[in-house]
Structure 1
Amino acid sequence: MKKRFSLALLSLCLLNVLAAQNSTDTDFMRSTGKIYVVVAVVLAIFVGLVLFLVYLDRKLTKLENQIKDND
């Protein structure tokens, strides 16, 4: 229990440090127009993952129905 509490406290401290840093990287990316490329790539990856999960869910549902029919 102490380890989990310590890990949670450490995570919160690190999160505060990361949030307090300057956003020069994002300002640079925004000024050069490449932030939109980054957003597009992240969005494409997210959409790909969602589509894969939908495909996998349909396939598993089909297999579950086949198992029910065989029993």
Structure 2
Amino acid sequence: MKKIVFTLIMLITSMNLFAQASEIEMADALRSNGKIYIVVISIVIILLGLLTYLFAIEKRLKMLEKKSGDKN
């Protein structure tokens, strides 16, 4: 049963890959105007902000764990 489910998932995944072979007009227009770089920079800034936020939370969490460990 696991093999059948795995095979079906792999087939569905490969069918999705074929759907992406068509031309994407919006991406071509953004690339020709040079605006694709603005999109990429925006995505990078958002990801860097999220990573910074996650590391700050991790740092605070470690500090709280350290304080609660000292009390016990």
Into which bin does the TM-score normalised by the smaller protein fall?
A: 0.7 to 0.9
Percentage of matched positions with identical amino acids: 29
Q: Secondary structure at the match of 1:22?
A: coil
TM-score, structure 1 normalization: 0.81
TM-score, structure 2 normalization: 0.80
More displaced stretch, 42-51 vs 21-30: 21-30
Amino acid in the other structure paired with 1:25: M
Q: What are the residue-to-residue correspondences of 1:30-45 with 2, within 5 Å?
A: 30-45=31-46
Verify: 1:14 aligned to 2:2, yes or no: no
Aligned length: 70
Q: Deviations over 1:11-52 (max 9, x none)?
A: 22102321x111432221011221111111101111011101
Q: What are the residue-to-residue correspondences of 1:1-71 with 2, within 5 Å?
A: 1=2, 2-18=4-20, 20-71=21-72
In the alignment, structure 1 segments of 5+ residues that lack a partner are: none
Question: What is the aligned-residue RMSD (CA, Å)?
Answer: 1.6
More displaced stretch, 38-47 vs 7-16: 7-16
Which 4+ stretches in 1 moved above 2 angstroms? 1-5
